[in-house]
Chain A
Amino acid sequence: MKQRLKLTTVFVLATLSILVLSSAMFLKNTDSKTEKGLASTQKHTPRPFDAKEMIMDHIMDSYEWHLFTYKDYHCCIPLPVILYSKDKGLHIFFSSKFHHGESSYKGFKISTEEKYHGKIVEELPDGSIVKPLDLSITKVTVSFFFTMLLMIWLFVSISKAYRQHKNQPPHGIQNLLEPLILFIRDEVAKPSIGEKYERYLPYLLTLFFFIFFNNIFGLVPIPPGGANVMGNVAIPTVMALFTFALVILSSTKYFWIDIFNTPGVPWWLKFPIPLLPLIEFLSLFIKHIVLVIRLFANIIAGHIVALGFFALIFIFGEMSLLGGYGISFISVPFTVFLTLLEILVAFIQAYVFTLLSALYVGLALEEPHH
C-alpha cells in the first residue's frame, strides 16, 4: 500500500513536471515572436484592468492552462487539440501553435467573433467560417480526468481493503471515505429507493463523489485544480441525462400510468384537453433540467462572486496604489469566508443532486400499494 502511494506520487509529480517543462520549451517560441513584434507596440501597452474579462477568462474553458503572466510573458501549459474537420481530416496538435489565440495553424484559429468566441473555427478556402468537430483535451477535461483518476485509485484501494480485511475495523483510507459512503447508502439510497437500492448504489456513489471532488478541486487554485468543472453547462447536463436514462429504463408500467392516466383525478382534467397528462409529462423533463441548473448556477455563482472580490482589489488598485492595498483588507477576508462557504456548497450541491436522483429513480420504481 505504501509502495503504491509512493509510486503514484512519483507518477503524478513526473507528469506535472513534464507538462511544466514542456510549456517552458514552447514558451521560447512565444518569446521570439514577441521580439519580432516589438516594432508594433500597440499590442504590448498595458490595458486598463477589465474585471469582466478577467472573470470570464477564469470561468470559461480554454485550450491552454494559463498559470501566470509576468509583464508580457504568458506562462501556460499547452494542451492537446484534437480536431476533425470534414475536408481536412483528423488533426492533433498542441494548442501552443495558436500562440495564445494570435496566429492560425493550418486554417484553424481561435475565433474572436461573437458567435464562436473562444472556440476553434476553421477558415475554408472560400472564406466561410465553420466549426470542426472539436474533441480537444481542454482545461476542464484535464481537470476532470484528474478527478476521475483520483476516484478510480481511491475506490479501487478501498474495495480491495474491504475484501482483504473482512469484518474488521476500517483500514487506512477507508477511514476517510467510509462515513460518506455509509451516509449515501443509509440516508439517500435506502430511504428513497427502498429494497432494490443496491442496483443503483454504484451510480449514486459515483455521482456524489464525482460532483463533490470536482467542486472541491474547482476551489483549489493550483493545477490540476482550479478549473471550473461543474460551472460548465455540459457536465451537469450529461449527468442529468444519465439520471434521466436511469429513470426511464427503470420505470415500471405504473409510473407511466401515473403520468398519463393519474388515478384519483377527475375525468374532465384528462379528457377533452389533457391538461394533467401534459403537465405531468412536461414535469418529467423539467425536473431533470432543474437538476442541471441548480448545480451549474450554484457553482458558477460562487466562482463569480469570489473572482469579483479579487477583481475589486485590482479595480481600486487602478485608482490608487493605497486604495488597492486598503481594499484588500476587506476583500481577502471576504474571499476566505466565501471559500469556506463554497466548500459547504460543494458538499450540499453534490448531496442534493444525488438525493434528487435517488428520489426520481425511487418514484419510477414504485409499485401500487392498494
Chain B
Amino acid sequence: MLPLMILLQAAGSTLGLMGAGFGAGLAAIGAGIGIGQIGGKAMEAISRQPEAVGDIRSNMIISAALIEGVAFFAIVICLLILFQK
C-alpha cells in the first residue's frame, strides 16, 4: 500500500498531464454524442414537416452552440491543468 502511494506521488505531474488528455477526450465524446443527438432529431423533425425547416434549423444551431459551451468548459479546465506550473 505504502510503496503504491509513493509511486503515485512520484508520478505526480505525468499523471496530471495524462488526466488532462483523458478529460479533453471525454469532453469531445460527450459533445459528439450530444450534438449528434440534436442533429439526428432535427433531421427526423424536418422529414416529418418539411416546411418547418427554417425554424428547426435555427433551433438546432442554438442548441448545438449551448452544448458545445459545456464541452468547452471541460476543455478549459484541461488546459488549466496543462498550463499550470
Contacts and interface: CB of A to CB of B under 8 A. Distances in A.
Chain B interface, DSSP helix/strand/loop, else mixed = helix
Given A293-B76, A301-B75, A114 B66 contact: no
Contacts of B65: 294, 348-349, 351-352
Contacts of B66: 294, 352
Most chain B CB inside 10 Å of its own CB: which residue of A290, A294, A349, A351: A294
Interface residues of B, number: 11
Interface in B33-85: 61-62, 65-66, 68-69, 72-73, 75-76, 85
Nearest to A345: B65
A302 to B, nearest CB: 11
A288 to B, nearest CB: 13
A301 B62 contact: no
Interface in A288-307: 290, 293-294, 296-298, 301
A355 interface: yes
B73 A297 contact: yes
Chain A interface, DSSP helix/strand/loop, else mixed = helix
B75 A297 contact: yes
A56 B66 CA distance: 27
Contacts of B69: 290, 293-294, 297-298, 352
Interface residues of A, number: 13
Contact of A298 (B61, B62, B68): B68
Given A348-B61, A352-B62, A290 B73 contact: yes
Contacts of A294: 65-66, 68-69, 72-73
A297 B85 contact: no
Given A348-B65, A352-B66, A355-B62, A298 B72 contact: yes
A370 B72 CA distance: 40
A348 B65 CA distance: 7
6 contacts: A290-B73, A293-B73, A294-B68, A348-B61, A348-B65, A349-B65
* 5 tightest A-B CB contacts, nearest first: A297-B72, A294-B69, A352-B65, A348-B65, A297-B76
Interface of A: 114, 290, 293-294, 296-298, 301, 348-349, 351-352, 355
